[in-house]
Amino acid sequence: MPPRTSTAQRRLLKEYQQLKRDSPEEGPKDTPYENGVFPARLTFPNDYPLSPPKLVFEPAILHPNIYANGEVCISILHPPGDDPHQYERAEERWSPVQNVEKILLSVMSMLSEPNVESGANIDACKLWRDNRKGFEAQVRSDVRKSLGL
């Protein structure tokens, strides 16, 4: 008898098939990330979709909301419920109705509009605030590298 497929595995397979049919574009237009291709790893917990996955860019990319190790820090990837720091509303955080597509759309939005008030990478926040041209030049250089140029 074949092993039973868990509800989480069935859900992930369905989400994966949907993404293959309608995958998001590369780095968002009119941003320094435009046309970039950034490999990332989504790691799903055993109790998915009750808990959020973790998203890590490999290699890390320069962004105020991406830790130096590549881990993405956005509300949708934070555990459900009230924020102990009272920065995020519960409805901004993970809930089981979220899915991989919504995560990717949130990341695209994050790339377009960093939240420097709640930065994960302080050096990137400082560069973005104090030297926007330098920040954008570094990101464009990283995009060229991501494309093998």
pLDDT, tens digit (0-9, with 9 covering 90-100), for 67-97: 999 999 999 999 988 777 777 888 889 999 9
Residue 42 φ/ψ, nearest 5 degrees? -100, 125
**Is 80 exceeded by the pLDDT of residue 144?**
yes
pTM for the full predicted model: 0.84
Phi/psi for 35 (5° steps) reads 70, 0
Distance from C-alpha of 93 to C-alpha of 52, rounded to nearest angstrom? 9
What is the chain's length?
149
Q: Active-site residue among 12, 55, 72, 73?
A: 73
- Is 73 one of the catalytic residues? yes
Provide the pLDDT confidence category of residue 6 given band limits of 50, 70 and 90. Answer: confident
